[in-house]
Structures are given as structure tokens and as C-alpha cells.
Chains A and B, each alone.
Chain A
Amino acid sequence: MSAYHPVRRVGLVVEDLAEIREWLCDCLRRAFDGMVVVGAADLREARAWLAAYEEGGRSEAELVIALIDIGLPDGSGVDLIRYVAARHPAALPVVTTIYDDDGHLFEAIAGGARGYLLKDLEEDLLIDYLRRIEGGEPPLSPSIAHRILAHFRKPPPGTTETDRLSSRETEVLALLSKGMTVAETARQLGLKPQTVASYVKLIYQKLNISTRAEATREAIRRGLA
């Protein structure tokens, strides 16, 4: 990321519990110097803010990160993640959750999330993870790695070569799915940890592209698009 930002960087926190929302906002401010942080209690508030942001003010402020809870009172945060990923490609949608069950997380990553964070992390650790995600080092738990592997193992008909995982990416996923850390994986493959992290980032993107293509194909098949 470039060190110089001519406009003000904005972070969005969508979280229904007020204490946690405040805490996450604090963490964002601490992680990214000079960031303007906006809190929203539900999807409706978040959408209203995004609409206003899209109307104008983009020249002065730029949305760079959005921490979104999955279970919101008026719907699923995954919908909002899809929206942000599609309309604001420069922003990083990040899932903040209390439960790391792979079903929801996989769906969120496929929807365009660039990372996920557990809300019971210690503050320093959370800030560290936030910086890493922003630096292109998204986390990937063994069970998520497992699921992504399974997803790419049976590519739907019509997938192009670019939708698929490279053999290196598959290797990385396989080791992560067995419970190895990024550092251990790097050592095992004779790579730098940063390289492994960049593979993880690519895997995130490919999952998103692959599932989006799948959804489009399905829509075409059903005559919806």
C-alpha cells in the first residue's frame, strides 16, 4: 500500500452490540493512524451510510476497510460483504464474528471478504491481525482451508484455467488444512512466509471469482441473466 494518501481514510464497523462496536472502532483507529471510523448498528444503517458515501464526499474520504458482523438483527452481513466487494473494490470487507464455524466464513469469503477476525481476540492481537489483513496477509484456519480445497477439487463445468488453483496454491492449502501455520508451511515448501501469505490472498480472490462465476452461470442456465 502506498504510504501517501491525499484523501482521508474511512473505516466502517457494522456491529449490533454497542460495547463491541465501540471497541472495534477503537481498535481500527489504533491500527490505522488517522482513520475516520464510522459505526453502524445494523444493515439498514450501514446501507444508508454507504448510499450517502456513494452520493458524494468520495473526493475527500475513501472507504478502505469494513468490519462486518455476520449475524445482524435485520439480516446477514454476508449480503453487505457482497455489496461492498462488488461496489467498492478498493475497500477490504472483513468478517468479525464470535463463532469461527467454517460454513458462514466460507460463504463470506466466497462473497468477497478479505479476512475474518474473532471478536474474543485480545486487543493487541486483533490490531496485529487487522494490520496484517490490510498488508495482504489474510488468516486461513485449517477447516476453511479444508473447505476451499474441497470446493476447487470438483470444479463446475465451464471453469476456465484462471478460475482454478495453481499446484502451489493447492499445496499451501493442503498444509494449512492440516493445521500448519503460515510460517511452518513456508518452511516446509522452502518459501518466504510473505510468499505463502500472498498465496493465501490469491486463494481468497479465486474463491470469490470462482463462486461468482458459478452464480452467474447458474443464473444464465435458469434464464435470469
Chain B
Amino acid sequence: MAVVVVFIAVRQPWLGLALSYDGSAGGAAVLRSAGPGAAIPAGTTLLAIADGVDRLHFVPDDFTIEPAGSIGTYENHGIFLARQERLSRILATPEVMLDDAQGRTWTVSPRPSRPFTSLPADFWVQLFVGLFAWLIAAGIWAFRTGETGARYLLLSGFSTLMFAPLAAIYSTRELALPATLFRTINDLNFLGGSLFAASLLSLLLYYPRRLAPLWVGKAIVGVFVVWFVAQELGVFESMTLARRLLVMIAVAATFFAAGLQWRITRADPIARAALQWFLLSWVVGVAVFAVFILLPQMFGIDTSAFQGYGFLLFLLVYGGLAFGILRFRLFDLGEWWVRVLGWIATILILVSLDLIFLLVLDLSTSASLALSLLACGLLWLPLRGWLWNRFLAPRVDERVLFENVVRVALSPAGGDQAAQWTQMLRELFDPLHIAPTEDEGSAAIEQDGLGLVLPSLGEIPAMKLEFANGGRRLFTRADLHLAGELIAITRFTIESRSAREAAAVAERSRIASDIHDNVGARLLSALHSRDASRKDGLIREALVDLRNIIDDATRPGMSLAEAMATLRRETADRLSARDIRLEWPVESVGPQEEAGTVLHTLRSIVREFTSNALKHAEARTVRVAIEVAEGHAINLRIEDDGVGFDPHATTSGNGLSILRRRVAAQGGSMAWSTPPGGGTRLVVAFPARKEDDAA
């Protein structure tokens, strides 16, 4: 369609003159000149045009832009068309003579076709409006073929594609078009306009609510078609009346229908939200066009010079419609629909840029493709992204949101947490109604966007939000996505917090049992010990235990190597005071990993064994080896070359028998043996730690 329109427009002969009828000078003023007519200076008043055969004096009507609005009667229209025919015949000859007011005659050889660049901006505007309207209307209809409203919308898009680009051809003609062509496209333009008015009125009869039986819409379209045929057959005398009256009546009726829809949808936020945008964009755009372009023509004021740009209003109409779909799910379509259309538009823009570069810059195919891709990448895509973010993406301050989520998750479980969560949802979505509901496990949009259901989170019950933004909009996929993110962050934070609290409780109980088992037991023994030096020794041991407990608590991340180095040094000092050798290779003190829960037990075992070696074993050498195997399994081997001792013979109060119970409690095992050459060997093995046993 667009290609045909451009083709027709450029196939006309070209003088290279921009002409405008000047009433005071009684002729056509040259505004600009270029191409074949470049020799004629701007400001020259041309009075007549002639070829070898025919000669015509210019009259004002020759320069009328929109005959339907300014010519008055069908009789005048016939005269106008006859003159257009004669003018276009003159233009089609190889040499054209133009007489100016000073009596000079300019001879111009018209080019057989107009260059693209001579087509004025309003030509492209009208063409673009037609295409844009068609794209939106067809795009909606393609996904909603069954709906009456969508069908009338399709008809309106089709009629816009008919009237706007066709008007572009004749309203931007240089001087004349052949009569048949002019008449055909001008009549079709009127038919398009009529259908547009009819389809708009019919659309409002069925969307968003059905106001009338289905035949009414068809009848309205029928009336316009009959009216069109009637005026073609010459039933009317006044062309202005014939071509404007019914359209204006339809526009008035449209307002009435819109008002009716507005009343009826009072109690229905979905339909209201849809209608709001629908009316704002559609009715206002069309009404402004009707009031400022069409209505003055009925009273004899020629507004046709602005008609081309007036079509920009229709751009507003269809643009608003697309926006309404995005924000308020007009026709129950959502963001995805605009993405699809944006994608199609990108392809169209790419192709048209390509064509423009190809034609205007006269480039090779590959170079123009590269250039259009470049333009698309540098201009269109960033612009599209910017527009998307600016107008369509919900704007949420992520930092504030994050703070809110953390505050909710870290506030004490119970009443306050649920209240804070509710408060945050209120601030985010501004729902009219928010109440606990049944937990469905995940967030979901209900009733086509009327409600948003959120699952329960820990102590917070599941919530149902209704009527977003105080009922002014519907919940969208973006809302659902945002809610999903919120829930994920909150759930993660709550779980982390619980895990941390559980770890702290475990740590506290470990410290308590350490104090009870070690410090308490030793102090109690000291209390009842009658031997003063034994009493002192027990108290010192209690202090050492206390120190270890504090050490473990204040430095929970201490590595096994560090803990073992301290133990090695202590053991070496104790043994060397009694001239006992320690064989404990520094390489075997364990890797740089966290010491874990068994450290305390390990340390107690080495100490207890060393004490025994010092007191009873008469040993000369103590050997220690600690290995960390796969998965944090720890193996300790400690032996001396003393007299050996029978572990079963020791009393139950013995330190090592207490340790045996602790090792067992931690899932480890303890085995006594006699190494070759005598002495005592103790092998302790702790199994690999389980992942969830990190505390």
C-alpha cells in the first residue's frame, strides 16, 4: 500500500516549484524553486501555464489542498477536476511555458517523475499515520479475532490506512493530478474517513461493554456506505455538506456512546481503567481533528493546509491505544503484545531505512544495509529501550525496597513482622484491599489482574491484594515478577536468620556443656581434693579449659593448623621440662581449615595423654600425628614408649574415660594398643563431618 502510494506520488511530472495562490497578486506565488524550474526566482508571481496547444490562467481553486472541504458544491468539483485534467496534460508535455506578472515567459522542461526528496514532510506524516494505525489495529485483531470490538478496531485501522496515505498523494501534489486519478483517490479518502467514523462509533457500542445489539454496528457502517454511494451518484448538491455532515454527526454520537460507557463501567475497575485510556487517546485525538480541521470546513474556512499535520493526532490515538494495552490490558492484551509489535516495527524500520539509503544516497546494497543496521543500532534500539524504561517499566527504588525486605525479614517473628510486610505491600502496590488468604505456594495473578495472591512466608500469612493503585490499574506480569523477587529475598533472609539463630543456640549449648564438663568438674575435684598441690593443679587445668573455651568462642574460624600449633607448643614445653622428647612433625598439624567441633575433644585427649605420660609412663619419647582425611575426617595417633597402662584398669574418674564418652558422642572411636617395642598407643578417629553439621 505504502509503496503504491509513493509510486503514484513520484510518477507525476515535476517542475521543481513550490506554489501557493496569492489572492492580492492574482496568481500563484513561487515559494521555492529547484530542479527544472530552478531558474524562476522565489517570489515570482505566475499567472498562467501553457504548452503548445492549451493555455490556462491560474485560479485559486487550482491550489486547493482538500477539495472535499473547500470547493463547496459538486458542480464546482466537476470544474475543478476538469481544470486539473487540463493542467496535468500541460505538465505532461516536454516544454511548459509559464507567464509571470511582469510579462515574462519562463520555459520549463518538467521531469517525468518527482524525486523522493521533493515530497514534503506532511506527505510522509500521512503515510506513516496510515501505516502505524494499521499496524496497531491489525496487531490487536490478530490476537483477538473473535471479539466484536477488535473487528471494528480493525476496520478503523484499515480505513485510516485508506484515507491518510491517499490524502497524502493529492494534498501534496505540485500542481495537478489527472482527473480520474484525483477523483478516485479523493473519493476513496472520503470512503475511508466515513468508515473510520462509523467504526469508531460502532466500536464504542461494543467495547468495553456491549451497549447495543450486534446489527446496530453493521447498520451504522451500512448507513455510511449508502451515504457514500449516494453522494457518488450526485444526490447532494453541496459537497461540503455531503462529505462532512454525517461524519460530524458520527463524532457527536461517539461522544454520547463514550459517556454511556463511562457511566456503565462505574462499578467495574477493569473496564473503567481500559476505557479511561481508550477515551483519552481515541476520542480526544479524533475530536480535536474533527473540531479543528473538519468543522471549520463546514463553515467555509479552509483548514486543508493543516490537514496533513492534523493526521498526527491519529498517531496519538493509536499510540495511546498501544499504551493503554500495556498499562491497563486493553483488549486483555499485555506487554508481550507490544513486544511483538515492537519487533515487527523494528524490522519495518530496518527495511525502510535500507530503502531510503539505497535510493537517496545511491549506495550499494551491502553498504546501505550496513548503514541502516548502524542507524537502527545507534538510534532506534537505544530510543526504544529508553522509551520502554521511561514510560512502561515500573519504577521502584531498589535500595529502599531491599531495606524494607531486610527489615521485614529481620524483625522479630510474630505480629509486627506480618504488619510490616503488609505495610510494604501497601506502599508498593497501593491495593484497595489486602487480607490474609489461603496459601497457594506461589505468587499468582487472579481474575485477570484484579487480584494478586502471595504465599505465606514463615510467620507471615498468605496475602491477597485486590485492585492495584487504588483500583486504577490491574496487576500485571511485572507486578507478579516483582512480588516473586520480594518473596525470594524475604524467604532467603528469614531462612538465613533462622539458620544463624539455630547456630547461635547450638554454640551457646556447646559452651555451656564445655564449662559444665571441664571447668565445673575440675573445680569440683579441686574443692574436694585434700592434697594442696593437686588442688592447685586442678585449678590451673580449669583455667586452661576456660581459656580454651573462650578462645574457641571468640575465634570460631580458627584453623586446625593454628589450634594444633598452640597445642604442639604447649605439649613440647611440658615434655621438655621433664626431658621427654616430642616427635610431632610440624607438617602434620593439619591443613588451614576450620577446626570444627571436635577440636576441643582433640585438644583434651592430647593433654590428658601427655599428663599420663608425664606422671605414670616413665616415657622417653612421645609421638603425635594428626591427619585430616577426605571430607574432614580426622585421625589422631598418639603414643609413648613408656611402661604402658591398662585403660580398663583406670578408674571411672579418669580424664581419659570422660573423653572416651565425648568421642563417642561426637561419632568418633578410640582404640588403645601397644606399639612395637612397648608403650601405649591411642588412635582416635572422627568420621567425616556432615554438611549440615557445620554448627
Residues of A within 8 A of B (CB): 98-101, 103, 120, 122, 141-143, 146, 175-181, 183-184
Contacts and interface: CB of A to CB of B under 8 A. Distances in A.
B565 A179 contact: yes
Nearest to B564: A179
Contacts of A98: 543, 547
Nearest to B544: A120
Assign chain B's interface to a size class.
20 to 34
Contacts of B576: 181, 183
B566 A120 contact: no
A142 B550 contact: no
Given A101-B554, A179-B586, A183-B576, A142 B547 contact: no
A175 B586 contact: yes
Interface stretch (B63-71, B215-223, B567-575, B672-680): B567-575
B540 interface: yes
Tell me what chain A mostly uses at the interface: helix, strand, loop, or mixed: loop
B551 interface: yes
B543 A178 contact: no
Given A100-B547, A101-B550, A181-B572, A141 B566 contact: yes
Contact of B540 (A99, A120, A178, A179): A120
Contact of A180 (B550, B561, B572): B572
Contacts of A99: 547, 550
B100 interface: no
23 contacts: A101-B550, A101-B555, A120-B540, A120-B543, A122-B536, A141-B566, A142-B566, A146-B562, A175-B586, A176-B569, A178-B561, A179-B564, A179-B567, A179-B584, A179-B589, A180-B568, A180-B569, A180-B572, A180-B586, A181-B572, A181-B573, A181-B576, A183-B576
Tell me which of B539, B564, B566, B569 has the highest count of chain A C-beta atoms within 10 A of its own C-beta: B569
A87 B550 CA distance: 34
Contacts of B569: 141-142, 176, 179-181
Nearest to A175: B586
Contacts of A183: 576
A205 B238 CA distance: 113
Interface in B512-559: 536, 539-540, 543-544, 547, 550-551, 554-555
Contacts of A141: 566, 569
B568 A178 contact: yes
Given A142-B565, A179-B566, A183-B576, 11 more contacts: A98-B543, A99-B550, A100-B547, A120-B539, A142-B562, A142-B566, A143-B565, A143-B566, A178-B561, A179-B572, A184-B572
Contacts of B543: 98, 120
B122 to A, nearest CB: 69
* Interface SS of chain B: helix
A114 B628 CA distance: 37
**Nearest 7 CB-CB pairs, A to B?**
A179-B568, A179-B565, A142-B565, A178-B586, A179-B569, A120-B543, A181-B572
Contacts of A181: 569, 572-573, 576
Contacts of B562: 142-143, 146
Contact of B565 (A103, A120, A177, A184): A177
B197 to A, nearest CB: 78
Contacts of B554: 101, 103
Given A101-B550, A101-B551, A142 B568 contact: yes
Interface of B: 536, 539-540, 543-544, 547, 550-551, 554-555, 561-562, 564-569, 572-573, 576, 584, 586, 589
A2 to B, nearest CB: 30
Contacts of A176: 569
A129 B613 CA distance: 25
Nearest to B567: A179
Nearest to A188: B586
A35 B214 CA distance: 118
A140 to B, nearest CB: 10
A120 B551 CA distance: 16
Contacts of A177: 565
Nearest to B587: A178
Contacts of A143: 562, 565-566
A59 to B, nearest CB: 41
Contacts of A175: 586
A49 B148 CA distance: 102
A102 B498 CA distance: 32
A166 B576 CA distance: 29
B546 to A, nearest CB: 8
B591 to A, nearest CB: 13
A143 B555 CA distance: 12
B492 to A, nearest CB: 33
Nearest to B541: A120
B544 A178 contact: no
Nearest to A180: B586
Contacts of A184: 572
A72 B254 CA distance: 90
A179 B559 CA distance: 14
A87 B589 CA distance: 42
Nearest to A128: B577
Nearest to B573: A181
Contacts of A179: 564-569, 572, 584, 586, 589
Contacts of A178: 561, 565, 568, 586, 589
B460 to A, nearest CB: 41
Contacts of B573: 181
B558 to A, nearest CB: 8
Contacts of A180: 568-569, 572, 586
B251 to A, nearest CB: 76
Contact of A146 (B550, B551, B565, B572): B565
A119 to B, nearest CB: 9
Contacts of B567: 179
A42 B480 CA distance: 65
A142 B558 CA distance: 13
A172 B551 CA distance: 25
Q: Which of A98, A179, A183 has most chain B Cβ within 10 Å? A: A179
Contacts of B565: 142-143, 146, 177-179
A101 B540 CA distance: 17
A143 B544 CA distance: 16
A3 to B, nearest CB: 28
Nearest to A146: B562
Contacts of B551: 101
A192 to B, nearest CB: 16
Nearest to A100: B547
Nearest to B586: A178
B606 to A, nearest CB: 11
Nearest to B584: A179
A143 B584 CA distance: 18
A180 B586 CA distance: 8
Most chain B CB within a 10 A radius of its CB, from A98, A101, A120: A120
Contacts of A142: 562, 565-566, 568-569
A103 B550 CA distance: 13
A187 to B, nearest CB: 11
Contacts of B586: 175, 178-180
Contacts of B566: 141-143, 179
